[in-house]
Amino acid sequence: MKYDAVLLIAFGGPEKMADVRPFLANALKGRPVPLQRLTEVVHPGAA
């Protein structure tokens, strides 16, 4: 049998800047991400 499918997963999104890090921590569920990379995502262009 052949299947065509699309799986959509939504995490929502943070409502304000203070919510970005907690949102990412929840979305990553303990996956190891270097602190420098998280900082680049939270504050693009600052690094």
pLDDT of residue 8: 84
pLDDT of residue 34: 92
Are 23 and 11 a contacting pair, CB within 8 Å? yes
Residues 6+ apart with CB under 8 A from 21: 38, 42
- Torsion, CA 28, CA 29, CA 30, CA 33, rounded to 10: 0
pLDDT digit string, tens, across residues 1-47: 888 998 888 878 899 989 988 998 888 888 999 989 988 888 887 75
Q: Where are the domains of the chain?
A: 16-47
